[in-house]
Structure 1
């Protein structure tokens, strides 16, 4: 393709966008809204996945001991736990340590435990079992619930399953909405191109008559759709970045550790994904809208 042809295609595309600026603006807004909403669901899904991964890394099983458990039973339980597949580390927490740790977790509401001391301690001693992988939690819970000297066994698997289920739901809802909005975007961009082609149908007919190829006629309109898609992608990226950065700052202020995806991810990764999606939406919308006009 010669430079003069490229220059002609680009010039013709931008002139067409300006002539039909009202509907072109509507198309840009629709593409931007489509990608922004998809970006919101994408970020929510990514942050939920981060939360799931963080919880899985910290998952542990607590084997709570009977208040009347004998020293022999406690030693036997510890020996069995050390021989279990998937157990990475075992820590014994006494009743006194459990009460002290609970006081620390209350953070400013320690007075709720006033009256409880070493002689009047409602907490239970327990083994804190850290796992190599979360999948071993259920097996250990089932096995040790019936062991002598064990009162009960608790693990966080139910919480992880709920978070993972929420992440899956968010992903599917996001995909469904994205598909619907893509269809709307294709419709609007297609209408923009159709209006342009209709106003120039005589010119298109003459070009076909003198032997112009379909792609020579098609390229200015395809470029027009791509430009609309790119502008929509950039607008949605800017809005998503500043909105997410504000939310991220509000949530993480005062927190030393956070598992949230950082706002820079929007600029470093989502921008390129949005640009590719915008180009695809614009190009496909243009090509589909031109088909019947090129049939002579």
Structure 2
């Protein structure tokens, strides 16, 4: 009997304040979508770090005709200098840090350049002799880059030593910044959701003040009186959280999986299944927001 009464009160409250309930659903949906987007970005960053850090290379660029570096004052790298650099890479002092390495000639560098910039007009203005040859090194521990840099930067015939990990860090920093923006927007939207839920509960309590007054007189407990109001907000918030979770799944499945994954096959994107781990957290956050804001509102506007 008590359960049927509570369910009836919830249904009546949802019908009376339908427009406000829809507003709560929408604002919760938007705010939790931003929260989930920030979570997706962090998942993507971790995925890319795990994927790319295993493939990251240190490039030792050799002097070419157009090199202006101080170490290239004597001209392009000679065959003897290149052999000395290879012997140094194979020496015991350096080999302990190196997993493997390969030499990339100017022609090979030009071929890779044309593949990477095939859709850019710049490809027509670059020739093979403008690109430096290089040694591409895979380190056992990418953190040991500084040792390789110090060893080879001052060697004859070396133009520069570049750590590709530094380029990735810039990308990850930009993604972290985007994640922070999403969290900030989500914070603003969550405040809006809390205020809107509180307003909805207040209006619902005001519209049913006669019924709650009668319930007090007949001895209904505080829980029985307040529970329908709390559950109204929780139900609306849960619906918003489910919609947010479904949106994140759709973005991961259709945009990341169907569009970006085909355009950038060498990039490790998160799967739609991975976004589902965010759903319980979003639903729990929605329940927490609705429950806390409802209880605080009822303590002030529904004295029992």
Scaled by the length of structure 1, what TM-score is found?
0.82
Asked if the contact 2:88/2:94 (under 8 Å) is kept, the reply is no
Q: Specify the SS of the correspondent of 1:260.
A: coil
Say if 1:63 and 1:150, in contact at 8 Å, map to a contact too: yes
Report if aligned partners of 2:48, 2:267 keep a CA contact under 8 Å in 1.
no
Aligned to 1:292: 300
- What is aligned with 1:228? 236
Following superposition, the deviation at residue 146 of structure 1 comes to 1.3
What's 1:92 paired with? 103
C-alpha contact 1:94 1:126 (8 A) present in aligned 2: yes
What SS does structure 1 have at the residue aligned with 2:103? strand
Deviates more, 1:171-180 or 1:39-48: 39-48
Q: CA RMSD in A?
A: 3.1
Instruction: Note closer, same or farther for the CA distance 1:9–1:124 as it changes in structure 2 (3 Å cut).
Output: same
What are the within-5 Å matches in structure 2 for residues 1-296 of structure 1?
A: 4-66=1-63, 67-68=77-78, 70=80, 73-80=84-91, 83=94, 86-94=97-105, 97-98=108-109, 101-102=112-113, 112=124, 121=129, 124-248=132-256, 249-253=258-262, 256-266=265-275, 268-295=276-303
Unaligned runs of 5+ in 2: 64-76
- Which string of whole-angstrom CA distances, capped at 9 and with x for unpartnered residues, describes residues 101-147 of structure 1? 556556599x959986xxxx555443221012322223322332113
SS in structure 1 of the partner of residue 154 of structure 2: coil
| Secondary structure of the corresponding residue to residue 147 of structure 1 | coil
Following TM superposition, by how much is the alpha carbon of 1:21 offset from its aligned partner in structure 2, in angstroms?
A: 0.6
CA contact (8 A) 1:31 1:185 kept: yes
Structure 1 unaligned segments of length 5 or more: list them.
none
What is the TM-score normalised by the length of structure 2? 0.80
Conservation of the 8 A alpha-carbon contact between 2:110 and 2:127: no
- Shifted more, 240-249 versus 132-141: the winner is 240-249
2-structure distance, mates of 1:105, 1:54? 19
CA distance in 1, matches of 2:169, 2:110: 29
- The number of aligned residues is 288
After TM superposition, the structure 1 stretch with the greater mean CA deviation from structure 2, 240-249 or 273-282, is 240-249
Shift of 1:192: 0.9
